[in-house]
Amino acid sequence: MGTFVLLIEALLVLRVMPPGFDGWKSVTVGPGQTLWELGELYCPNTDPRYVVGAIETRNHIGANIQPGDVLWVPTKSVSMWARLVF
């Protein structure tokens, strides 16, 4: 019974964790582009809030970006199931 409870707790924690990201690509920011737009463009099937956070973390930046900045942007999210380690 204890193992089953631990498994359920682990699944619940994974459900609320932000997704992981992979396939990072170097992108030059264009005029007027925002991190939100970059997130939607390069990782379209993922909640942009998570993508923006990942871009900020990977590039050690805040939300202020300028045209010509070169940023690492994820191109795909990693499902919670792929992140399970047994």
The domain locations on the chain are 1-85
Q: Is the pLDDT of residue 84 over 70?
A: no
Question: Alpha helices, DSSP H only, in the chain?
Answer: 2-16, 35-42, 48-59
Q: How far apart are CA 31 and CA 21, in angstroms?
A: 25
Q: What is the pLDDT of residues 25-69, one digit of tens each?
A: 999 999 999 999 999 999 998 999 999 999 999 999 987 899 999
Smallest Cα–Cα separation from 74: which of 45, 54, 47?
A: 54
Lowest mean pLDDT among 18-22, 37-41, 49-53, 70-74: 18-22
CATH for 1-85 is: 3.10.350
